[in-house]
Structure 1
């Protein structure tokens, strides 16, 4: 069976499902059906989310499964939540700062400054 595409492979715009059919009895329902937020996740995002659910929300076990550090797993989880629209941008931004700190792309004082700047900008 083919994978559902939420984006058109030709132009990149959103697709609409126009029919559903039961394999058992052959009933067919026609109309325009919108995809849900999970259809917009990549295969990698879905695999991460499935692993998270199989491990009952234990990010430590997810990190072990993917052989990544806990902060990286936490950051990836925040990215998935943001793609689903379940995360406020402030938390997402903090996760990005922490990931850069972990990868030695910035030092501790720079990370602290970025977090302080973020707090000053937010009311």
Structure 2
């Protein structure tokens, strides 16, 4: 199992940023201070929800059936994720 990229500091819980990238082929290193992509800033659960939304062609009705939840529950979860993404974009 591949280790998951951490997005929060294990010591203080603040957001982490990427400071180094490397090429496995030629061993080039690139250093700097780069923010994480927006979708990586979401929790595993939120990322999974978005993937299921995508794979169900955006059908909340289909997702509700697959998840065993009501349509309003799934809709509320989507609204919460949309709200969180808007907040992250404004940072």
TM normalised by structure 1 equals: 0.63
Superposed, 1:21-60 pairs within 5 Å as 21-60=22-61
Q: Structure 1 stretches of 5 or more lacking a match?
A: 87-123
Aligned length: 86
Query: Counterparts of 1:51 and 1:39 in 2: how far apart (Å)?
Result: 16
Q: Does 1:61 align with 2:59?
A: no
SS at match of 1:7: coil
Which fold has the larger relative contact order, with Cα–Cα distance below 8 Å and residues 6 or more apart in sequence? Answer: 2
Larger % of helix: which? 1
SS at match of 1:80: helix
Query: Counterparts of 2:33 and 2:55 in 1: how far apart (Å)?
Result: 32
Query: Counterparts of 1:25 and 1:55 in 2: how far apart (Å)?
Result: 39
CA offsets, 1:55-77, max 9 Å, x none? 11111111111111111000001
Note the C-alpha offset of 1:16: 1.6
Give the match for residue 72 of structure 1.
73
TM normalised by structure 2 equals: 0.83
Superposed, 1:106-121 pairs within 5 Å as none
